[in-house]
Amino acid sequence: MEVTLSPIPVLFVFSKNGAPGASAAFNALEKKLPNLKKRRFYGVLEGLPETGVYRACIGIMEGDDPKAMGLETWTIPGGKYARAKIKNWSDHLKDIGPTFSQLENQYKKDSNRPLIEYYRSDNELLLFLPIK
């Protein structure tokens, strides 16, 4: 499915070792938050999974003070994306890479924008591949 996303302002923590460090980056991010209620969580990868830049992100909410929280700001680029869904994602983390590969086989990837994981709920993960 093709969708168009608006740019998403976020606060983030870098992973120290690409996508394999995503869990540690999300743990570090969550420790900086007073609570997780109503937060939108994103994982964003620029480049290859093992060597690229991975950010664990939360959408900026009214009242957030990045400096007080010890977080940096960034904007996830908007534009045209192909979307896929993974149910029960915590049991299927190994499916993220292959699902992105399937999307790349179906669509022409735009390498100038990052891959996006949107953790919609404890049960549902949406993957967005940037397309031309």
Share of the chain above pLDDT 90, in %: 89
pLDDT at 62: 92
Local confidence band at 34 (pLDDT 50, 70, 90 cut-offs): confident
Q: What is the average per-residue pLDDT within 38-53?
A: 93
Contact yes or no for 97/49 (Cβ under 8 A): yes
Model confidence band, residue 16 (pLDDT cutoffs 50, 70, 90): confident
The predicted model scores a pTM of 0.95
Look up residue 85 and give its two tokens.
């869904």
H-assigned helices in the chain: 22-31, 66-69, 96-106
Percent of the chain with pLDDT over 70: 100
Q: Which residue has the tokens 């992973």?
A: 15
Q: For residue 64, name the pLDDT band (cuts at 50, 70, 90).
A: very high
The per-residue pLDDT for 95 is: 95
Q: Which CATH number covers residue 16? A: 3.20.80.10
Residue range of the domain that includes 99: 2-130
At 70-129, the pLDDT tens digits run: 999 999 999 999 999 999 999 999 999 999 999 999 999 999 999 999 999 989 999 999
Residues in the chain: 132
Domain count, the chain: 1
Q: Is residue 5 within 8 Å of residue 81, measured between CB atoms?
A: yes
Q: What is the pLDDT of residue 37?
A: 87
